[in-house]
Structure 1
Amino acid sequence: MTSRDVSGGWTYIDMPQHTPGQPAADAETMEQRITRVKADQSDLYEFHNIDLVRPARLKDYYVEELDKLHQLSFEELPDQEARVDYVLLRNYLRRSIRRLELDEKRNEKMAPLLPFAAPLVELLEARQKVELDSLKPRHTADVMDAATRLVLKTKEGVESGKIHVDGVTAIRAVSTIEQLQARLAELIDFFKGYHPTFDWWTAQPYEALNRALADLIPPIKVKLAGQRPGEEDAIVGQPIGRDGLLVDLEAEMISYTPEELLKAAEEKFAWCEDKMRSAAARMGFGDDWHAALEHVKNLGVEPGEQPAMVKRLVVEGADYVERHGLVTVPPLARRTWRMYMMAAERQKVNPFFLGGPEIIVSYPTAAMAHGDKLMSIRGNNRHFAKATAFHEMIPGHHLAMFHEARHRAYRALFENPFWVEGWAMYWELVLWDRGDFFDGPEDEVGTLWWRMHRCARILFSLGYHLGRMSAQDCVELLVARVGHERRTAEGEVRRSLNGDYEPLYQAGYYLGALQIYSLRDEVLRKGICASEREFNDRILRENEMPIEMLRALFLDVELSKEYKAQWRFLD
């Protein structure tokens, strides 16, 4: 596949051309198109590796791919799978364009802090393209020297209060500066020891520039982002606003507003509280579910015993779904899961278990402060673990990832939390309903606590991105309303807001679970699948996508070229 430079548009000269609306034997199938777009995107992201300019470089590609998609005759697509793939790719390209446009606006807000960036970016892009004429040693040294003067002037403006930006923009600027430092180091390493005059000209200007960039970061953090020195663990996020949430909700095919989802989360939270009071009464705590929760938290295992407990729970979950014929568990999936212990530093952002190919277990390490040890033990007690081991492994993430690699793997492009996390939490709802998986009120408190936790994730993540809550407000919500340990609450919020997860990720757990749960009832009621096993197995074979499109496959919903989300699964 060859093309002209992105700035001049893309032309794939090895792709067969045919008249729109007229199918050709050698035309791309939807699966082939999605596979190609996924590979193209990977190459483009790898090549255009500077976030400051990436939106401008990638948007043209997505626009042209969307135009090409629109030229297809939707009516002549061969089957429902292809029509679903069309809608999935269309939504993906549209969201990619809108996200890049939002990124461009955010980048514009950083301009007062980055007046030195543009000439440096030109050097770095010339390095990527191996345009050596633009990297002459003296010219490179001149650019670095001029940039250093601008960096020093910017630092003075920040410290004197002449430069003003909001805290989120300040943190984005810090991230951009650190990225420029990393790319400049790559540039220097490319010529170091190989081009003697390059070293001669640039060694001192580069050292001065790198030092100036490093010195600019602390005043930005302190003066503009409000971080005091030594607050390496401070929780810093980047709210995307209501417009950003609407873009993501549309792309994930959720036909509700953020406000409607917040209302639903409060209703589900109230249901959890009612069930918690019932369990508390059976434990002898009356209607004081907080006291019952405190009792359950103290039922952890001793140091050294956590791995054995977790293994027992993983095996128990897999045995249960197989014994009751709820989903097919391939023998290889059962044999190949692994276990690791989570490092203390990683527990700052992942205070609980993680799962997938392996289960990563949280438990205090010897080096932790005493108070942190106690909170970690309480936050990973045996009854909380009972309600999360199967979520992480079988029938949850491990089983799902096993199938994702083997069935319609091209749909990995449409990864989304409503499928990934929704599938794992869906099993929490199913096993609760069955009534014989959770042993006694202590186990019920454990799984209800997780469900309340997922309600709270909707409340604090949407509230934060709507601008209604600060990061500290999110922590206090988890502590006061859900009963989190403060350390685990801080880790949860840090994990949710630090940029590693997309804004809707935390809302995707419960909302995705409710979608799959609602779809299951509809499919079984209408006799589309003869059993729960058939329903669950098919979800795994279809691979990732917004759940509304899974519904379109199961129910053979009539689709159109401009199909939009319309399923009111909460109603």
Structure 2
Amino acid sequence: EAHLANISAKESNTASRRLAALRACELLGNLQSSLKEADRFYSGYDPNYTWWVAKPMERLSSALEKHRLTLREKMVGVPDADQQTIIGLPIGSEGLALELRHEWIAHDPTELIALAEREMDWCDAHMVAAAEELGCGDDWRRALELVKARHVQPGEQPRLIRDLAWEAIHFLEAHDLVTIPPLAANGWTMAMMSPEQQRVTPYFLGGDAIIVSFPTNAMSQDEKLMSMRSNNEHFARATVHHELIPGHHLQYYMLPRYRPYRELFATPFWMEGWALYWEMQLWDLDFARSPEDRVGMLFWRRHRCARIIFSLSYHLGTMTPEECVDYLVQRVGHERSAAAAEVRRSIMAGYSPLYQAAYMLGGLQLRRLHSELVSSGKMTNRQFHDAVLHEHSIPIEVLRNYLTDQPLARDTGPAWRFAEQ
């Protein structure tokens, strides 16, 4: 401890030392958890343990915690009490390569970043077109500001969410796009997100329930305003169907009913990719009613592109957390608090390194598969979408192998170059 206290500020602030110290803190935390589990197992059951080991175990646990806290404060430079600073552990190019192979992705990170940049260019062109319709010329930031200002008043968000949810369900049924069991359509619930959780997740979450972000009395004035602007009517219209139907709520309805034994292979490329895929499908089907709606949908589509770029770049070591936040503010148009929360969620909330990239990448994989099977006339929209839901959460290339009856061998691995199509 005395040695750590004497480390110079210059040394403690170097990136390599900070990351090494953060890894050490993580390992110390894991060791403490293992010791607690061992103590619960033996304490009171084994007389020799209780007689000889219980007190030394207390001293060891206390010393490890003191060492961990000192490392966090003196070397990492981010005490436990600091809930604002963003710091994480990049896994590097080799780590990303392993993660991509595990998820059955045949492309390398640089190819995926290039794909995201192409998709971002598409979004830019359509965002400018929507801005022109709103009388903003080619100033997409001005158009975004107009849209952010169109939010409901505090207390009225739940009513808006209900109306938007049923609007999406009726649209899907009118176009015969996917089977929606009555219990799924009527069985979702709503919860409000705490101010603390909104610092990590500034937008909606979904599953069995939709968890709504909107101001509470415990927030500062700035936090209240940014929460309302970030969850305006047109952004919300594009997120409600992502979280409920046809998105996550419909997935959670189907998962325990069809092939639940495949839960072991669950992947965000199927879970998040499906919900993002529907954002793209509904765009193609003119779900947006106005240029304001299109701005809302494009904001999220840009955001998914940005997630690929900043999350992979962070793990490759080419972007810092601060640069990731700036990128989201400048390139996508996030409120700064929301951008910081997004990066904090990506880096510090325990998600897998590819989780944020999986939204757009999984969506694009499903989009390519839809083109192969539906656009070609081999399946209807409803048949395709029901089939995806009934095969459970598995890597999209594995799903493609099944739906297209690909020949398989024991050593079959990721080979689908979907980004080149």
Compute the TM-score of the two structures, normalised by the length of structure 1: 0.69
1:233 aligns with 2:84: yes
For residues 171-570 of structure 1, the aligned pairs below 5 Å read: 171-189=22-40, 201-202=52-53, 204-227=55-78, 230-435=81-286, 437-529=287-379, 531-570=380-419
Map Cα deviations across residues 462-507 of structure 1 (whole Å, 9 max, x no partner).
0001111111111111011111111111111111111511111111
Query: In structure 1, the residue corresponding to 2:195 is in which secondary structure?
Result: coil
Whether the 8 Å CA contact 2:43–2:54 is kept in 1: the answer is no
Determine which structure has greater relative contact order: mean sequence separation of CA pairs < 8 Å that are 6+ residues apart, divided by chain length.
Answer: 2
Identify which range, 345-354 or 173-182, moves more after superposition.
173-182
* Cα shift at 1:205: 3.5
In structure 2, relative to structure 1, the CA distance for the partners of 1:518 and 1:196 (3 Å cut) is closer
Whether the 8 Å CA contact 2:272–2:358 is kept in 1: the answer is yes
AA in 2 matched with 1:408: R
Query: In structure 1, the residue corresponding to 2:418 is in which secondary structure?
Result: coil
AA in 2 matched with 1:168: L
* Cα shift at 1:199: 5.4
* Cα shift at 1:249: 1.2
Whether the 8 Å CA contact 1:241–1:466 is kept in 2: the answer is yes
AA in 2 matched with 1:550: L
In structure 2, relative to structure 1, the CA distance for the partners of 1:260 and 1:198 (3 Å cut) is closer
* Cα shift at 1:276: 0.6
Structure-1 residue corresponding to 2:6: 160
Separation (CA, whole Å) in 2 of partners of 1:524 and 1:201: 69
Separation (CA, whole Å) in 2 of partners of 1:319 and 1:196: 66
Separation (CA, whole Å) in 1 of partners of 2:268 and 2:45: 47
Structure-2 residue corresponding to 1:22: none
For residues 20-39 of structure 1, the aligned pairs below 5 Å read: none
AA in 1 matched with 2:280: L
Separation (CA, whole Å) in 2 of partners of 1:348 and 1:407: 35
Separation (CA, whole Å) in 2 of partners of 1:396 and 1:185: 39
Alpha carbon RMSD of aligned pairs, Å?
A: 2.1
* Cα shift at 1:369: 1.1
* Cα shift at 1:191: 5.8
Separation (CA, whole Å) in 2 of partners of 1:395 and 1:367: 33
Whether the 8 Å CA contact 1:238–1:499 is kept in 2: the answer is no
* Cα shift at 1:340: 0.5
Query: In structure 2, the residue corresponding to 1:340 is in which secondary structure?
Result: strand
* Cα shift at 1:544: 1.5
In structure 2, relative to structure 1, the CA distance for the partners of 1:560 and 1:189 (3 Å cut) is closer
In structure 2, relative to structure 1, the CA distance for the partners of 1:212 and 1:400 (3 Å cut) is same
In structure 2, relative to structure 1, the CA distance for the partners of 1:376 and 1:219 (3 Å cut) is same
* Cα shift at 1:223: 2.9
Separation (CA, whole Å) in 2 of partners of 1:161 and 1:483: 40
Query: In structure 2, the residue corresponding to 1:339 is in which secondary structure?
Result: strand
Separation (CA, whole Å) in 1 of partners of 2:186 and 2:71: 51
In structure 2, relative to structure 1, the CA distance for the partners of 1:160 and 1:518 (3 Å cut) is same
For residues 73-112 of structure 1, the aligned pairs below 5 Å read: none
Whether the 8 Å CA contact 1:528–1:554 is kept in 2: the answer is no
Map Cα deviations across residues 142-171 of structure 1 (whole Å, 9 max, x no partner).
xxxxxxxxxxxxx23333349986323322
Whether the 8 Å CA contact 1:414–1:544 is kept in 2: the answer is yes
Identity among equivalent positions (%) equals 47
Map Cα deviations across residues 519-538 of structure 1 (whole Å, 9 max, x no partner).
11111243321x11111111
In structure 2, relative to structure 1, the CA distance for the partners of 1:413 and 1:192 (3 Å cut) is closer
Map Cα deviations across residues 395-447 of structure 1 (whole Å, 9 max, x no partner).
01111121111111111111111111110011111110111x11101110000
Whether the 8 Å CA contact 1:411–1:544 is kept in 2: the answer is yes
Separation (CA, whole Å) in 2 of partners of 1:196 and 1:458: 55
Structure-2 residue corresponding to 1:134: none
* Structure 2: segments with no counterpart, 5+ residues: none
AA in 2 matched with 1:159: A
Separation (CA, whole Å) in 2 of partners of 1:445 and 1:511: 21
Separation (CA, whole Å) in 2 of partners of 1:386 and 1:357: 19
Compute the TM-score of the two structures, normalised by the length of structure 2: 0.93
